[in-house]
A = this chain, B = another copy of it.
Amino acid sequence: MQIASITLHAAPLRRATSAAKTRARADDGAGRNRCRTCNLRELCLPGGIVQDEVDAFSDTVFTRRRVKRGDTLYRLGEEFNALYAVRAGFFKSSVVLEDGRDQVTGFHMAGEIVGMDGIGTERHASDVIALEDSEVCIIPYARLEEAGMQRQLHRAMSRELVRDQGVMMLLGTMRAEERLAAFLLNLSTRFVARGFSPSEFHLRMTREEIGSYLGLSLETVSRLFSRFQDDGLIAVRQKHIVIHDIAGLKAVMVKVQD
């Protein structure tokens, strides 16, 4: 089975055969995209809307932007004027405390929207950094309103709120084992939705970034990977992960606390 996103343009499995053509069609040659022909349209903003809403939005064309590994998409305090839809690649978002401590607040892959935390204050409230060479669609905020896409934006933001609740739950009530199991299962689910293997993938973040996201030290993350491997749940070799026992990972989350 194909391993998720080894290269920048690795295409989702299920659409692999037509992916090249689709991408060509989605690109007007001037670094801009048309939603109608974008192979991410089911995952992106218009996700889940009725057909005529898609049509209204489909002719809208958005500029792309490439972000190299390690570069920032935006920084805390920068003026907000657009949302970004991840087209390819992988991002992390993080917040910094005055004293320098920082916390990774999320990882973002193709089809996901970042930047919504800037709407309220018209300033971005976090840093977003590419973990590999990536590409985004720039969605000017004003344009969303013209296109009558508010409802889709509400949905996307609401989903984000629910996701945040999940992270709070994870940080507030779960033990280290459970957090990492939940993290791996979450990644697996998201890769599946993109047509990649649910059981084999490359982590694009370091142990330190995983630890920051999960509220653990990087050593604990490393130790847990080793333990999961010893228990036959996964195989780890650096950033390459194979999940051998999904049910076993799920069991980690329920069997621990009693």
Contacts and interface: CB of A to CB of B under 8 A. Distances in A.
Interface residues of A, number: 45
The 6 nearest A-B residue pairs measured at CB: A120-B158, A171-B171, A119-B158, A164-B164, A172-B215, A150-B150
A117 B165 contact: yes
A173 B105 contact: no
A126 B152 CA distance: 21
Contact of A173 (B101, B165, B257): B101
Contact of A103 (B97, B121, B153, B169): B169
A83 B149 CA distance: 20
A117 B162 CA distance: 6
A101 to B, nearest CB: 5
Interface string A99-129: 1011101000000000011111100011000
Interface of A: 95, 97-99, 101-103, 105, 116-121, 125-126, 145, 150-151, 153-162, 164-169, 171-173, 212-215, 254, 257-258
The binding surface of chain A is classed by DSSP as: helix
Nearest to A150: B150
Contact of A97 (B102, B105, B117, B169): B169
Given A99-B254, A120-B162, A168-B164, A215 B150 contact: no
A103 B168 contact: yes
B165 A168 contact: no
A217 to B, nearest CB: 11
A172 B103 CA distance: 7
A215 B173 contact: yes
Contact of A151 (B98, B145, B212): B145
A205 to B, nearest CB: 15
A247 to B, nearest CB: 15
